[in-house]
Amino acid sequence: MGEFNFWDGRRHPMRFRRELGIWELFVPGAVNGQLYKYEIIDNSGQMRIKADPFAFEAQMRPQTASMICSLPPKVEMQPQRKVANGFDQPISIYEVHLGSWRRHTDNNFWLSYKELAEQLIPYVKEMGFTHIELLPINEHPFDGSWGYQPLGMYAPTRRFGTRDEFRHFVAAAHDAGINVLLDWVPGHFPSDDFGLAKFDGTELYEHSDPREGFHQDWNTLIYNFGRREVSNYLSGNALYWVERFGIDGLRVDAVASMIYRDYSRKEGEWVPNHFGGRENLEAIAFLRTTNRTLGRAAAGSISVAEESTDYPGVTRPSEDGGLGFWFKWNLGWMHDTLDYMKLDPVHRRYHHHLLTFGMLYNYTENFVLPLSHDEVVHGKKSILDRMPGDSWQKFANLRAYYGWMWGFPGKKLQFMGNEFAQGREWNHDSSLDWHLLEGLDNWHHGVQRLVRDLNHSYRHYTPLYQLDFDPNGFEWLVVDDHENSVFVFVRRDRDGNELIVASNFTPVPRHDYRFGVNQSGGWREVLNTDQHDYHGSDVRNHGIVHTDAIESHGRAQSLSVSLPPLSTIWLVREGD
């Protein structure tokens, strides 16, 4: 039923193709742009009006019709985009919710895909990020779900424009040398009447048993991954975004909720698998199939798992028993480091392990270090507001933390607003607080400049990214200075070039701080989070600092440098 038959389903009854198990109809008068739905008489004789789960375009919410739209042409993945996704490449991701990055000031309305291409992409390029990651843009009924409760899996949301305008947005990012990642949600779907729930009167896409088919946390339904039609619907969708829109990779949401049958459930609220275990074997097989499909049919694209447990082998090939993802969010690193940073510096000496523990498991997976949207909502405060002390110390702590993060092994991810130290929690119904950057140069400008310089320096120095997932790329120089809350480590590339990262997480400057190094000669400070440009106290190491033949930390050569208060500095070798 649709605009081509006055919304009267009696005019165009479909016929059942018994040998295929599908219903079909050719409507000669239907044209692109017309709205339609399915009118279904279910197994109990009730009429159900449903949107098309495979629709390539959908109506603007709160309307729910599907729109006739042809399959978009394929987008060839250029070699430079494939290279930019590599394990040995600098990857710095800017995570964006398109509806609240920036809004029109006069009416608080969203920017369109076209306006976002003109404003967001140049900003991301200037800031030095290599990738944009979009919160889900699949069509979804409720703004407050941020796209994480999708129903139109094949349709970009109409909130910001048409399907083709979204394709142009992606193309504009590629023209600017920026790869695009898409947040993808195969873990659950809402129960709205017009959607997938009880599509033909039965649990067609979901499980009939609520212990398997209902998410108590989110009041949503769970796909029945064991049905071939359902897993094909989703795996095909993953390939669709990569192949037809030029998406360079998918970040898969809530993987833990998919692979564990007892996820967030008490005893008796879940059904074991046929071996009696807690693993959802069908979901695991689906994820492996999807990742394998992307690897073969869309070579160069990547998938990133948001997986919150210690499930083994998330980023190992499926042939070796892994899930086959390219990268995994390091949520353990994120929690530990934020727990450390929120402490008053006087107490940090007792929690030194929070910054060192991550290296004990660092090479078990290919990690991304995320400061995502999840960390700035639901009463968690902004990243800035978690920092202790007065205003000066809050900003200094944040800058030192960012310097540590960009130096630490793993790819980087920052949610929008973090890059200029937004002071309040993220609100999806309004723009970021861009007014903080208006007027005279201030602390927020300093953080924004630091993030820009971190990104560009990170991309320039190969030791910071080339061996992220190789133990040869990292070595502690000072790991046990609990009393001073000082950490020093070295990053290394394949050619043996080194970059030293030194952090002082107390407000006390450490002059003439000596530590052993591997390579003798001159060292130059190339980044200092305390420098004047970032509104720090400008304690610097000017010129070339030379090593001394003084034994320290088990090494014959050592450096003596000034460590500014609440800061991170980077040093590179320069001269003999």
**In this predicted model, what pLDDT tens digit does every residue of 148-161 receive, in sequence order?**
999 999 999 999 99
Residue 71 has pLDDT above 80, yes or no: yes
**By C-alpha distance, which of 345, 424, 352 is closest to 392?**
345
Angstrom distance (rounded) from CA 210 to CA 216: 9
Angstrom distance (rounded) from CA 203 to CA 221: 10
Instruction: Write out the two tokens for 549.
Output: 């033949």
Residue 222 has pLDDT above 90, yes or no: yes
**In this predicted model, what pLDDT tens digit does every residue of 379-410 receive, in sequence order?**
999 999 999 999 999 999 999 999 999 999 99
Enter the pTM of the model.
Answer: 0.96
**Residue 480: count of CB within 10 angstroms of its CB:** 11
Alpha helices in 128-198 (DSSP H): 163-175
**By C-alpha distance, which of 415, 419, 329, 420 is closest to 374?**
415
CA dihedral 355, 356, 357, 362 (to 10 degrees): 100
Half-sphere CA count of 207, side-chain side, radius 13 A: 21
Angstrom distance (rounded) from CA 36 to CA 66: 5
Q: Is residue 404 a contact partner of residue 394, using CB atoms and an 8 Å limit?
A: no
**In this predicted model, what pLDDT tens digit does every residue of 527-561 receive, in sequence order?**
999 999 999 999 999 999 999 999 999 999 999 99
Which DSSP string corresponds to 299-343? TT-EEEE---S--TTTTS-GGGTS---SEEE-HHHHHHHHHHHTS
Instruction: Please report the pLDDT score of residue 29 as a whole number.
Output: 86
Instruction: Write out the two tokens for 25.
Output: 């109809």
Residue 125 has pLDDT above 90, yes or no: yes
Long-range contacts of 231-236 (CB under 8 A, 24+ apart): 231/282, 231/285, 231/286, 231/289, 233/53, 233/54, 233/153, 233/205, 234/153, 234/186, 234/286, 234/290, 235/286, 235/289, 235/290, 235/293
CA-to-CA dists, residue 43 to 46, 156, 304, 422, 476, angstroms: 7, 32, 40, 53, 66
Instruction: Please report the pLDDT score of residue 481 as a whole number.
Output: 97
Instruction: Write out the two tokens for 62.
Output: 């709160």
Average pLDDT, the chain: 96
Instruction: Please report the pLDDT score of residue 350 as a whole number.
Output: 97
Please report which helix (H) or strand (E) contains residue 286, including its range: helix 281-297
Residue 576 has pLDDT above 90, yes or no: no
Query: For the chain, how are helix, strand and coil distributed in percent, rounded to 5?
Result: 30, 25, 45
Which DSSP string corresponds to 519-535? S-SEEEEEEETTSGGGT
Angle, to 10 degrees, between the axis of helix 331-341 and the axis of helix 391-407? 150
Angstrom distance (rounded) from CA 166 to CA 155: 10
Angstrom distance (rounded) from CA 336 to CA 572: 28
252 Cβ neighbours under 8 A, 6+ residues apart: 184, 185, 186, 187, 287, 303, 304, 305, 306, 325
Higher pLDDT, 576 or 255: 255
Catalytic residue positions, numbered: 253, 306
Residue 21 pLDDT level (bands cut at 50, 70, 90): confident
CA-to-CA dists, residue 253 to 111, 147, 244, 259, 282, angstroms: 25, 11, 21, 12, 17
Angstrom distance (rounded) from CA 386 to CA 462: 32
Question: Domains of the chain by range and CATH?
Answer: 3-67 (2.60.40.10), 90-184+247-261+301-464 (3.20.20.80), 471-573 (2.60.40.1180)
Instruction: Please report the pLDDT score of residue 20 as a whole number.
Output: 87
